[in-house]
Structure 1
């Protein structure tokens, strides 16, 4: 995961549909959980340039958490609103108060399922593009504020998951005993995020696949590689 910084800037790339061939068209350029893109950080600003998203046929579980504001989160949220041209938020984080204002987090939890989906035939074009552009990452965790109705929708859900809709758009869904419905991403004020990198390996047929999505840690485990090109190199001992 990448460390969080003070100011969050979301950059929309309107011609991203043409960048990743062999995957579904990206109709909405608002970065969200599961988005593929380039993460850039500096001392005073942070950007995520979305270029596409995977096709997810089988639901990938997401965890929801409600968190009490502290001074750090309050500062990030206020800076986000200021950067969006809105009035900075004033949130009183008195730790002695019983009713402390809260923000929310969504995090991809079923990494095994996500890896399996991204290695599917529908994502062959995406995999090739990721191999050629190793600076691309996946948005794995978002921190946000939202309206009361949307917050209750998620708090009362039995499950939350990512799935590609019938018209080819990656959507967040909430489900309970009454059915499922989509979460409107436009209702979420995403003021912070984290990304995850990809580790690669080669199967018995010589095909390069995603082996793991690196949510924690800085190095790929075992024989997996952050650079898929290294999987095609002949070991030195075989050159003799």
Structure 2
């Protein structure tokens, strides 16, 4: 009986840890490639491998606000980082006897409304049509990234950080400082070692065309009357009901 109670109590603790975010890092997927926020593609994951094949990127109307959180490496994130590093001399270590630990950034797409507006704009019409047909693409919406001191000091002193199309087919970080400074930092200047994705939710616009309405977590539910299948948002014509 005691064994059963211990097992039940352990299960409760595990569920509580998952629901409260204690195991948050486990939801961030390691990849062999280095895509960035704003990339659209097909994600497939298993216990052994995680794979993301890029289909395209969203052409932004204007820059989009990002959320940036600085975090200390733990053993889990450190392993993910070191697995991505090509040169062993760039490996990071956590020394228990030293209180100062290496840090990384959790970068998330915070202005989802602005990003969705760009997705539905004219310049992304071909991408939206592609997403309607394939139905299995996702958006890379979050990543863990490590920068050297040269770039991290600029991010640490930032007032705001944005995602922008710095050139055709590519994204960069725009870092705005409190003293009206502006820096462009390329994702390639850091090491991306963890990723998370969102799926699309659709609605019908005034032209009765399916458009992106919101995002949802992988395998999650779409909010309100939005649908994960773009074909299910089409309203029937009055003549079809007769």
TM interval, shorter chain, is 0.7 to 0.9
What is the CA–CA distance in structure 2 between the aligned matches of 1:156 and 1:218, rounded to whole Å? Answer: 36
Whether 1:145 and 2:168 are equivalent positions in the alignment is no
- The 5-angstrom pairing of residues 16-27 of structure 1 reads none
The alpha carbon displacement at 1:196 in A equals 0.8
Relative to the length of structure 2, the TM-score reads 0.79
Moved over 6 A (4+): none
Alpha carbons 2:57, 2:169 under 8 Å: kept: no
**Structure 2: where are the runs of 5+ without partners?**
1-23
User: Which is richer in helix?
Assistant: 2
Q: 1:140–1:215: 8 Å Cα contact kept in structure 2?
A: no
Moved more, 176-185 or 67-76: 176-185
Question: Could you report, residue by residue, the CA deviation over 1:70-108 in whole angstroms, capped at 9, with x for unpaired residues?
Answer: 121122222223xx46468352263x7531221211111
Match for 2:189 among 187, 192, 196? 187
Aligned to 1:225: 227
2:83 to 76, 79, 84: 79
- Residue aligning to 1:203: 205
SS at match of 2:200: strand
Secondary structure of 1:9's partner? coil
Question: 2:209·2:234 contact (CA, 8 Å) conserved in 1?
Answer: no
1:216 is displaced (CA, Å) by: 7.7
Distance in 2 (CA, whole Å) between partners of 1:107 and 1:50 is 19
TM-score where L is the length of structure 1: 0.79
| Contact 1:130–1:136 (Cα < 8 Å) also in 2 | yes
Question: What secondary structure is seen at the aligned counterpart in 1 of 2:158?
Answer: coil
User: 1:62 and 2:86 equivalent?
Assistant: no
Q: CA deviation at 1:239?
A: 5.7
Q: Does 1:38 align with 2:22?
A: no
Q: What is the rounded CA distance, in whole Å, between the counterparts of 1:158 and 1:42 in structure 2?
A: 38
> For each residue in 1:131-176, what CA deviation from the matched residue of structure 2 results, as whole angstroms up to 9, or x when unmatched?
1121111111110212111111211111111122364533321112
In structure 2, distance between residues paired with 1:136 and 1:33: 14
Question: What is the correspondence of 1:98-177 to structure 2 with a 5 Å cutoff?
Answer: 98-165=99-166, 167=168, 169-176=170-177, 177=179
Distance 2:157 2:53 in 1: 32
**How far apart are the structure 2 equivalents of 1:166 and 1:40?**
29
Query: With CA pairs under 8 Å and 6+ residues apart, which has the higher RCO, 1 or 2?
Result: 1
Alignment partners' CA distance in 1, 2:53 and 2:168: 23
- Whole-angstrom distance in 2 between the partners of 1:217 and 1:39: 12
Deviation at 1:233, TM superposition (A): 6.9
For 2:92 and 2:181, how far apart are their aligned partners in 1? 37
| Separation of aligned partners in 2, 1:205 and 1:138 | 25
* Structure 1 equivalent of residue 4 of structure 2: none
